[in-house]
Amino acid sequence: MVDLLGMLAYGELVAFDRVAVDARLAPDLRRRAQLSTMAAAEIDNYRRLVARITELGADPQEAMRPFVDVIDAFHDSTKPRNWLEGLVKAYVGDGIADDFFREVAGLLEPDDRQLVLEVLHSDNEFAVAEITGAIADNPAVANRLALWARRLVGEALSQAQRVAAEHDSLTMLIVQGTGDLTKVGELIKRLMQAHADRMTTVGLNN
Amino acid sequence: MVDLLGMLAYGELVAFDRVAVDARLAPDLRRRAQLSTMAAAEIDNYRRLVARITELGADPQEAMRPFVDVIDAFHDSTKPRNWLEGLVKAYVGDGIADDFFREVAGLLEPDDRQLVLEVLHSDNEFAVAEITGAIADNPAVANRLALWARRLVGEALSQAQRVAAEHDSLTMLIVQGTGDLTKVGELIKRLMQAHADRMTTVGLNN
């Protein structure tokens, strides 16, 4: 459980400054402020997770440390080069992460389940509106963004495999929670299907 | 008034992502999170200022635009190279900015005065503790940081002169509010004295 919260907490801390930097790519100050506000929300979530880790008798820094390299590696390999890439990254990344943690939350005790569900990203309307608007203005961007989305998912999967290989406790939580390895396969299938649906929503299903 | 709020608002928006990036220089995750939390607070202030600009019938983006170059120039010329430089920058910059806006707040109508006073940085305890702690550990850093602080003030003054030259409305607000040019001189003297006192507080008065 501490492993899971540590991974979530470091994910939030990093999402905060990555999104804060990506906000500078915004074409105007209104959009920049909108993304900055989304980044700032991650810090509130971070604090709640750290409070819970402390409550469980663990050291938050120790709990986060095992995930620093893998989460940093994901972000280093997927730096957005423009505003739309930043938004697609937020949309794709938040979507998959939320789906994953929502599935895992089902395996937890009620208190922890509640906390994990509450720190998920509630709202992707802004990203959806920006991406679909940009594609409507210039359909040619859809191909590039679809390619970018595939790269994001590829990097996320390869880092997820690293986490699974390195963190037995997390892998066990999921295998035991779901029942067996077949169920883990089904979980991954559900995550990928939900991702494909989100791509369709914004017109990136090609 | 809109000029003043626009300057404050853009200052907050930029402070947000600059501090968010500087937080990465932290020696550990606890300190990094502490600075990230401080950065996130700027976004709340930003939103309040934008709400007030809109209430006054002005466009927040238009109100901020005249200050983009000058505030960006200040930050571009004062990028911290390490954790302590980042903290000294936050300490020195927040201190002078707060003193300035506190003085200007005195010239405003009660509602706006209240808003300006509320978006000031309430708390520099963390920066003070980190800087004094670092100097206690290694007195040699004091000289380097004192030099850095002087550079920060020099850059801030040169950008402030640019603002004064380019924005008659702001300059007039201050000249009329204080009474005459002599009073403006006294205001600058007070700001520099308060800065010197803050330097003494953290052991950077050499």
CATH of the domain at A65: 1.20.1260.10
Residues 6+ apart with CB under 8 A from B107: B173, B174, B177, B178
ipTM: 0.76
Cα A82 from Cα A144, distance rounded (Å): 12
Residue A147, pLDDT score: 94
Does B36 lie at the interface with A, CB-CB under 8 angstroms? yes
Q: What's A56's DSSP letter?
A: T
State pLDDT tens for residues B113-141. Answer: 888 888 887 678 999 999 999 999 999 99
Does B59 lie at the interface with A, CB-CB under 8 angstroms? no
Residue A206 lies in a domain: no
State pLDDT tens for residues B55-67. Answer: 999 999 999 999 9
Average pLDDT estimate for A57-68: 94
| Cβ atoms within 10 Å, residue A57 | 7
Residue A167 lies in a domain: yes
Write the burial class of residue A171 (CB in 10 Å: 0-12 exposed, 13-18 middle, 19+ buried). middle
Residue B41, pLDDT score: 86
Of A184 and A46, the one with more pLDDT = A46
Instruction: Give the count of domains, chain B.
Output: 1
State pLDDT tens for residues A106-135. Answer: 888 888 888 888 888 767 899 999 999 999
Residue B206 lies in a domain: no
Write the burial class of residue B48 (CB in 10 Å: 0-12 exposed, 13-18 middle, 19+ buried). middle
Per-residue pLDDT band for A104 (boundaries 50, 70, 90) equals: confident
Consecutive 10-residue runs of chain B (206 residues): their mean pLDDT? 89 90 92 90 90 94 93 94 94 89 86 87 86 94 94 90 82 78 83 92 84
Does A13 lie at the interface with B, CB-CB under 8 angstroms? yes
By C-alpha distance, the chain B residue nearest A60 is B30
Residue A206, pLDDT score: 55
| Cβ atoms within 10 Å, residue B16 | 27
Residue B150 lies in a domain: yes
Residue A159, pLDDT score: 87
By C-alpha distance, the chain A residue nearest B22 is A17
The answer, yes or no, to whether residue A84 has pLDDT greater than 70, is yes
* Residue B199 main-chain phi, psi, to 5 deg: -60, -45
Task: Residue B65: list chain A partners with CB under 8 A.
Answer: 29
Residue B104, pLDDT score: 85
Look up residue A69 and give its two tokens: 């390299």
How close does chain A come to B184, measured CA to CA in Å? Answer: 32
Cβ-defined contact of B16 to A28 (cutoff 8 Å): no
Q: What's B119's DSSP letter?
A: T
State pLDDT tens for residues B74-85. Answer: 999 999 999 999
Residues 6+ apart with CB under 8 A from A184: A174, A175, A178
Residue A184, pLDDT score: 79
The answer, yes or no, to whether residue A50 has pLDDT greater than 70, is yes
Average pLDDT estimate for A81-101: 92
Residue ranges making up the domain that contains A165: 2-201
Per-residue pLDDT band for A205 (boundaries 50, 70, 90) equals: confident
Task: Residue A64: list chain B partners with CB under 8 A.
Answer: 29
Q: How far is CA A107 from the centre of its chain?
A: 19
